[in-house]
Amino acid sequence: MRQRRLIAGATAFGLITGAGVLTLPAAQADGPSVLLNEDFEDGSFTPLTLNGGSALSVIDADGDKALLVQGRANDYDGIRTPAGLLQAGGAYTFSAQVRLSAAAGTTTSARFLVEPAYTWVGNTTVSADAWTTVTGTFNAPAGADPATLRAYLGTGDLGAPYDYLIDDIVITGTAAPGDGGAWQPTPDPAFVPGGAANPTATPVTAARGTGNAVALTFDDGPNPGETAAVLDLLRDKGITATFCIIGQNVEAAGGADLLRRIVAEGHTLCNHGTSYDDMGPWTQSQVEADLKENLRIIRRAAGDPTLEVPYFRAPNGSWGATGDVAAALGMQPLGLGNVIFDWDGNDLSEATLIANLRRAFTPGAVVLAHDGGGDRSNTVRAVTTVVGEKLAEGWTFTLPGGGAAPAPVAVTSGFETGTDGWTARGDGVTVATSSDARTGSGSLLVTNRTQPWHGAALDVTAGLPVGVAVEVSVWARLTPGQAPASLKVSVQRNNGGGSAYDGVAGAGATVSADGWTQLKGTYTLGAAADSAQVYVEGPVGLDFLLDDFSLAPFAEKPIQTDVPGLKDVLGADGIEHVGVAIDARETVGTAADLVRRHFNAFTPENAGKPESVQPVEGQFAFTQLDQLLDFADANDVQVYGHVLAWHSQTPAWFFKDGARELTNSPADQALLKARMKAHIKGIADHIDARYPEGNSPIWAWDVVNEVIADGDTANPHDMRDSRWFQILGEGFVDEAFRLADRYFPEAALFINDYNTEMPEKRADYLDLIRALKARGVPIDGVGHQAHVDVARPVQWLEDSIEAVEALDPALLQAITELDVNASTENQGADVSGAPADPYSPAFEDDADAAAEVGYYYRDLFAMLREHSASVESVTFWGISNARTWLRTWPMARPWEQPLPFDDELQATPAYWGIVDPSRLPARPADVLPPRIADQTDIAAVSNGASGAKVAYTLPSAIDTLDGVVPLVCAPASGTRFPVGTTMVTCTATDEAGNTRTSSFDIVVTRKQAGKR
C-alpha cells in the first residue's frame, strides 16, 4: 500500500465507448461498489492476468509489495482485467499507481485502455522519480458483450524495452440504472471459451446450407464399439458429423483414443456434460462448473488446451439455465432436432430405427442419433443403411447452424479444361476459353461487354464465411489492339431480395494488351449473404482475358492500440461526431476493431441510397441497412443517414410512368412527389418500427445531395439539371426537406455537395441555402464533402465555412466525405459524370505523397478546430487506403493514400497530421504548383467596332506552402477587348518555381443599331 505517497495525476480522458454489464446485487445498484482492489501484498496478482509478452513478478518496492513489469516492448505489455468484470451499462472509475523503473528524470505516459474499442481512460504523464496516480472514468454502453470488455494498463514508448512498477489497482463501478445485471461466468483468466462465433442462448435446430442438406449429430459417446463403427462409416463415405461428448466416457477405457480420432478425422465437438445427469434443475453456477470441467476433460484428452468445442447439447433435452450458461461460455446450444428414438424404452429394432432415420432426413434438419449410453449397434446399422441411401440420392452433410465460423473454401481457376464455373455477367456478354494463357494452356476470354459492370462472374458463396478476410487474385490482359484501361474485381452479395456491390480492396489496376497484370486485394464478408459472386469489370467495350484466379484466407494485421482514438482527440477539441463511411465489411473483424477504436459515428456508404433501399417501386429492402444499424446498436455508435434524394444511384422507375419518361406536367409532378413521400416515409416507418421508443442511432440525414452543378447552367443557382429538377424544379429540394422534417423530426437535416470550397460553386451553394431559409424550409445543416487534393487550398474551405457562419450562425456544418488525393488532377466527385482520364500521381515517390497528405491534414484540422463551434461532424470517406473509392475511380490509381489508415489499418502520416504533427516525416520538396480558382467567362457589349474596355476581378491563387501568390493575367484587366472571343490566360508561380496556368474567355458582342 502506498496511499500516503500519491501524486495527483490524470483526469478522465475520452469516455464513451467499449462494452460490458455490471453484476451487482440490487441493493448496491444505486452506488459504486469496489469490483477489484489489488495491492499485491499477498505476493500474487490474481485475478489480473498477463497481457502481451512482458514478464510479471511481485517484488518489494518502497517498503511494500508492487508488481514489476519487465521488458515492456509494446503499449499493451503488462496486466489486464479478467473477462466478465466489466458489464454493459456500467459506470466505472479506474485507478492505479505507476512508476518507471528507469533512470531519474525519465518520463512517459500511462493510461487504462478498455477493449474492444481500446478507449483511452486517464492518460497521464508518469516518471521514474515518484509514484503517479493514473485515474479516469468510463461508461460502458448497453448491449455490449462482457466477455470482450476488458481493461489493461497501457504505457508510452521510450524507444527501447523498459521496466515499470504498478501498485494499488482499484476499479469501482455501478450498474446501469434499473439494471440488476445479467448472469455472467465467474471471472477466470485461464478459461478458454468453446469457440462458437456469436453464440445465442436459443438452441439451433437447423443445418447450414440449402436444399437436401442435413447435420448429422451423435450423442452420449465416445463408446468403444459403436463410436468406432460410426467413424469407420463416416470415413469411408467421406462425410463429417458432430459428436456430443460426455466426459465420463472420455475418461473410461478407450475413450480418449476415440476422442482423438474424432478430432483427427475432422469432426466437430459438442459439450454434453460430464455425465448423464439432468441439468434442467441446476443453478447457473452448477451448470457453469460442469461445462467447464467437461471442456477440461475433452481438451486434456485431445492434448490441445484451446481445442474448439463450439456446441452444447443439454442431456435428455432438459435445458433449464443451460442455454444461457453455454452461450456465455462460448458454446452454441444445439437443439435435439429430428430424433430417431434410439434410447432405452423405445423399439430399438434395426427396421424401426431405419424407418425413423429415413423420416428424420428432411431438408435443413439437425438429425440426432446415439453412439453411446447403451447398446447402440442397431443405430449404427440404421445409420449405415440410410446414409448410403441418402448419398446415392444426392444429399449432403453439413454442420448445424451457429457454432464455429466455417473455414473458407479456397477457390482457384486455371481454365485448363473449361470455364471452371465462370459465367457471363450481363446480357450479350460472351465468356469462352482461350489458348492465350499466362500459365498452362488455357485462359478465359470475355467479350461483347456493353455496360461497365458486364464481365465474367464466379459464385464464391462457399469461399466467403462471415467475418473471415480473404485474399483475391486474378491475372488480366487486354486482347490485341486495345489501349491500356482499368479493370477491377468486385463482389456482388445478395440478401433479402436486394443486392450490394463491393469493390475488392486493392484489386484494381491499369491493364494492357502487352502483358499480364495482377489484380490483387482483400475482402471480408460482413454479414450473412444468400449468395455471393466475384466478378471483373471495366470500361464499356473492353475485351479481356483472365487467368490464374485464386481466393484464399488472409491473415490480417491487428490494429494499433498504442495510439489515441480519433474520436477522443477530436472530441476533446469540440468536434462531436467523428465518423467514417462503412458497409457490412467494417462490422466484423479487424476493421470493426478500428471503427470501435477511432469513431463514434458512421455513414452507410451505400446501404441508405435509393437504389439499395427501394430497387423496385413499393418493394423496400432494408437488410443491408439493418446490418449496419445492428452494429451501431451493439457499439453505441451514431449514424449519419445518406441519402434521401439524389440524382445518382436512384432507380429509373422514380422518373417514369411505365416506359414513359415523366415531364413537368402537373400530373407527373404529383406522381413524383408521391413517390418521394412514399420513399422517405417508407424508411421512416421501418426505423420507427425498429426503434419504437425513439432511440434510433440516426442523428442526421443528407436530405438532398449534389444539387449544384460544377459550371454555369440555365437553372437558378446553377442547379444540376437532374431528373428531379427537370420534373419538379427547384422546389424538389423544399419538398424533400419538408418530408424529412415530418418523418424524421428528431434528426438534423443536411444539404450536401462536393466542391463547395471552390469559390464559384460556393456562391451558388450559398445562394440556394439563402433561398431555402427565406422560404422557411426546415434545413438544419450544410455539408461539405471535402473530396480534396493536396494542392487545393485549405483557405478556400475555410472561406466556405465562414460564409455559412455569416449566413446563419445557427446552421450546423459537417465535413461529410473527407479524403485527400495526391493526383495531378481532381475532377471532383461526380460519379455520374465523365472525369478526365488518365490521372497521374503528383509525386514520384509514394512516401513523399503520404507525407504531403499528412501535412495537408495538419493544416486542414488546425482550421477545423478553429471552427469547432459550427463544425458538428467530420466523416472520413473510407476506413482505409485500401478501401478508398479513389483507388479505382475513374481509373486505377494505386498511388492514392487519402485517409488516416493504410491498407493494413495502421496509422499513416495523415493520422499523425491530425493527432500529433510533431510525428510527421520531413516534408518533401515542393513540387505542387499553386491552385487558381475557376473563373467563368465574362460577357461585355461594345457600342462600336473598336470593342470594349473590360475590367475583371483576378481569380484567387493560393499555394499550399506559400499561401497567396502573385497572379498575372493577360490581356490585363481594363484592356480594350475586340468584338468576338478573347482568351485570358492567368499564370501563378510559387517560391519553388512551380507554375500553373488557367484561362477564361471574354466575349464582346456589338450593340445592335437602334437598341438602347
**Catalytic site residues?**
706, 753, 817
What nine digits make up the cell of 422? 465462370
The Cα-based distances of 485 to 513, 837, 898 in angstroms read 10, 10, 23
Of the candidates 980, 946, 984, 949, the one whose C-alpha atom is nearest the C-alpha of residue 967 is 984
Please tell me whether the peptide bond between 971 and the residue prior to it is cis, using omega within 30 degrees of 0. yes
The grid coordinates listed for 306 are 484451446
Helix (H) or strand (E) holding 809: none
User: How far is 290 from 186, CA to CA, in rounded Å?
Assistant: 13
Residue 742 phi, psi (nearest 5)? -70, -40
Cell of 42: 499477498
Kindly report the backbone phi and psi dihedral angles of residue 856, in degrees, each rounded to the nearest multiple of 5, phi listed first: -65, -45
Q: Kindly write down the DSSP assignment for every residue of 816-848, as one continuous string.
A: EEEEEE-BS---TT-TTS---S---BS-SSHHH
- Residue that is written with C-alpha cell 461498489 in the block: 33
Strands (E), 33-161: 33-38, 49-51, 55-61, 64-72, 78-80, 91-101, 107-114, 119-127, 132-139, 151-155
Per the structure block, which three cell numbers stand in for 190?
Answer: 485461464
Which DSSP helix (H) or strand (E) runs through 425? strand 423-425
The Cα–Cα gap between 526 and 467 comes to 6
The answer to whether the CB of 342 falls within 8 A of the CB of 376 is yes
Residues for the chain: how many in total?
Answer: 1012
Do residues 332 and 310 make contact, with C-beta atoms less than 8 angstroms apart? yes
- Alpha helices of 535-665 — where are they, by DSSP H? 566-572, 589-598, 610-613, 623-635
- How far is residue 216 from each of residues 59, 826, 839, 896, measured CA to CA in Å? 55, 58, 57, 50
Q: Residues 182, 314: contact at Cβ < 8 Å?
A: no
Residue 516: how many other CB atoms lie within 10 Å: 18
Q: Cα angle at 489 between 488 and 495, to 5 degrees?
A: 135
Question: Do the beta carbons of residue 454 and residue 425 sit within 8 Å?
Answer: yes
80 to 47, 53, 229, 251, 313: CA distances (angstroms): 9, 12, 47, 35, 32
Tell me the C-alpha to C-alpha distance, in Å, between residue 351 and each of 54, 114, 386. Answer: 63, 60, 11
Contact 1002, 984 (CB under 8 A): yes
- Is it true that the peptide bond before 580 is cis, omega within 30 degrees of 0? no
Q: Rounded to 5 degrees, what are φ and ψ at 738? A: -65, -40
β-strands 213-221, 49-51 pairing: unpaired
Rounded CA separation 46/67 (Å): 11
CA–CA separation, 188 vs 196, rounded Å? Answer: 18
Residue 67's DSSP bridge partners are 58, 166
* Nearest one of 468, 47, 403, 21 to 194, comparing CA atoms: 403
The torsion angles phi and psi of 263, rounded to 5 degrees, stand at -70, -45
- Extract the C-alpha cell encoding 488: 477491377
CA torsion 13→14→15→18, rounded to 10°?
-120
Contact 186, 115 (CB under 8 A): no
762/753 Cα distance (integer angstroms):
10
